[in-house]
Chains A and B, each alone.
Chain A
Amino acid sequence: MSAGNTKLGTAVLYALMLLLLIIFIGPILWFVLLAIRPADTFFTMPPVLAFTPVWDSVDYAFGDPGNNLPQLFNSLVVAAGAVLLNLPFSLPAAYALSRFRIKGRKHLMMWYLGLLMAPPVAFLIPYSILASAVGLKGSYFSMILILQTLTIPFSIWLLRSFIDEVPVEIEEAARVDGATTPVIIWRIVLPLILPGVIVTSMFAFVFSWNNAAFPLVLSNRETATLPVGTLRYFGTAGVTWGFIAAAAVAAMIPPMLIFLVLDRYVVRGLTFGSVKG
């Protein structure tokens, strides 16, 4: 623990910090640069860092003709839809699991957790065939519905950790005053856990936004989400790296912003509420 106490030690620590940022942030910036570099410098080594930005790729993806704009919209609809559909299921369950001593509560929590750890790909083929059979293939609803296998268990875990922190005495006082359960939940519990609901929803949004497996088999050309649409660029003759980078960078931005905003909850969100951070 002495390294931090000397000038040399401090310098070493700062050098390590810089190295970390180069390793973990450098590649992201490198990809951002790809979206705005002239095509003849995509693969020039040693790397060309001084160039005049060209906006052709970004323009193609999101300006004119805006090839990826519909996909950006689709990603938003699917992720927001998955969050909204999840709340009426996860919120009451999380409340009940926090507040009542239910037989088998622990096993139920483990069951939800097990779902979060299940391989999504195991469900892809059946979902793909079944969705076609019932005429839902290609619909937003099919993706939003299947994403519930992730958003509901995740939200139940994270929400419960927030509800656990709201003192039960407040509810009991209201009950003594004669308030009924729905009134207590709506007027007292909900306002108290609202921050937790917002944080949970934002994380659930990121996980839905980043999920590529379900849209890969459930979307069609019109409803493809941004990562799936980006994947299509690989199918066309020659990989069009500028377009890929423009679309992929756009797919990166919302999760990054949300994580920066939720900085103090990041540990909690990533561990489903089991580590408070």
Chain B
Amino acid sequence: MQHTSTLPSRPRRLPSFVPWLLISPSIILLVALIAFPLLFALKNSFYFWNLQMSPTPMGFIGWGNYEMALSGSFFFGALYNTLLITVVGTAIEFILGLAIALLLVRKLSGMNVTRALLIMPTTIAPIVVGFLFRYMYDPGGGLIPWLLTSLGIPLPAEGLLGSGKTALWAVLFADIWQWTPFFAIVLYAGLLSIPADIIEAARIDRASPWAMLMKIKIPLIKKTAMIVIMLRFMQLFNTFDLVLVLTKGGPGASTRTLGYSLYQYGLVDFNIGLASAMTWLMVIVVNAIIGLLVFFAFKELD
């Protein structure tokens, strides 16, 4: 995280446009790739446009799409689901990941192999994790219902993904399975970077393991922890592939996240106007969150 060591201390003799000449192609391409769709969506958000009825926007309706999105549960229902899995998921993944990281730092033979294998769920495409869990959740002979029933845990008759009470948690469980190793591996790297003499000094002072964790280890890996928490928070907030494969937002709207709602309204129902208004609402929320994250967590990064 320290980027200062190799920076030139003296002013360079190069003309000042050279760095910008090197940087600007990336900026121009990225701005073009983002600005077009966003402006396109902004315009369409003020039109009634169902793609099944017409290949072009069908009529200016002012704030109509936004009013529709903000009334009922279109936006806020999805926002609630999204925030729920994002906050709960990030918290659980962090705590489990930290616990595993504390196990990984024990110097046991075989630990390196375990660590290298442990990251495998994180390498898989989320959509493929969706396939895997849809198989394992199958109410007609999936591994997970069988395990839970064997343990005496009652399950909804419609299946874990088929019941409005359990579906969102089942989706979240798949995400936790995939991303807990990510926390574990990164926090493990953070723990390794703690100087051994600090741990040794605490041990000589007879600090309890709990005090050692809360007062020494966690404060020293705070920066690393903040980075992973923020990255994961945003990825979870954008969850879409997993929902697409596991539940398609159902049953009812019980697993409809913001990301999946956009897909549903735009690319399944073809209501481009409503989906565009939702897009802009999501863009505003995401920008607000990223702004906060950058302000609190990443400001010391560079």
Answer yes or no: do A and B interact. Answer: yes
B23: Cβ under 8 A from any A Cβ? yes
Neighbouring A residues of B146 by C-beta, 8 Å: 45-47
Closest to B186 in A: A267
> Given contacts A43-B140, A277-B189, is CB(A213)–CB(B240) below 8 Å?
yes
Neighbouring A residues of B262 by C-beta, 8 Å: 119, 121-122, 124-125
B152: Cβ under 8 A from any A Cβ? no
Neighbouring B residues of A62 by C-beta, 8 Å: none
Q: Is the CB of A130 within 8 A of B125?
A: no
Q: How far is the CB of B26 from chain A (nearest CB, A)?
A: 4
User: How far is B121's CA from A9's CA once the two chains are assembled, in angstroms?
Assistant: 28
B237: Cβ under 8 A from any A Cβ? yes
Q: How far is the CB of B151 from chain A (nearest CB, A)?
A: 13
The bracket for how many chain B residues form the interface is 35 or more
Neighbouring B residues of A105 by C-beta, 8 Å: 302
Which single member of B142, B190, B266, B275 contacts A43 (CB below 8 Å)? B142
> Given contacts A90-B26, A252-B128, is CB(A25)–CB(B117) below 8 Å?
yes
Residue-wise interface mask of B (16-43) relative to A, using a CB-CB cutoff of 8 A (1 in contact, 0 not): 0011101101110110011011101100
Neighbouring B residues of A183 by C-beta, 8 Å: none
Q: How far is the CB of A134 from chain B (nearest CB, A)?
A: 10
User: How far is B30's CA from A126's CA once the two chains are assembled, in angstroms?
Assistant: 15
Q: Is the CB of B141 within 8 A of A44?
A: yes
Which single member of B125, B133, B290 contacts A212 (CB below 8 Å)? B125
Q: Is the CB of A230 within 8 A of B185?
A: no
Which single member of A46, A99, A125, A128 contacts B279 (CB below 8 Å)? A125
Q: How far is the CB of B195 from chain A (nearest CB, A)?
A: 15
Q: Is the CB of A227 within 8 A of B33?
A: no
Which single member of A44, A110, A152, A244 contacts B29 (CB below 8 Å)? A152
Q: A28-B124, A275-B189 are in contact. List 7 more A-B contacts (CB 8 A).
A: A4-B108, A17-B114, A92-B25, A98-B6, A120-B240, A126-B36, A255-B123
Identify 28 residue pairs between A and B in the complex whose beta-carbon atoms are under 8 Å apart, listed by A's number.
A1-B212, A17-B108, A27-B132, A31-B132, A93-B26, A99-B7, A100-B19, A101-B7, A102-B19, A109-B301, A117-B238, A119-B237, A119-B286, A122-B262, A122-B282, A125-B266, A125-B279, A126-B41, A129-B51, A130-B36, A146-B33, A152-B26, A211-B125, A234-B245, A252-B128, A275-B186, A275-B190, A276-B1
* Chain B residues close to A by CB (< 8 Å): 1, 3, 5-8, 12-14, 18-20, 22-23, 25-27, 29-30, 33-34, 36-38, 40-41, 51, 100, 103, 106-108, 110-111, 114, 116-128, 131-133, 135-136, 138, 140-143, 146, 177, 180-182, 185-186, 189-190, 193, 203, 209, 212, 224, 227-228, 231, 234-235, 237-238, 240-241, 244-245, 258-260, 262-263, 266-267, 272, 275-276, 279, 282-283, 286-287, 290, 293-294, 298, 301-302
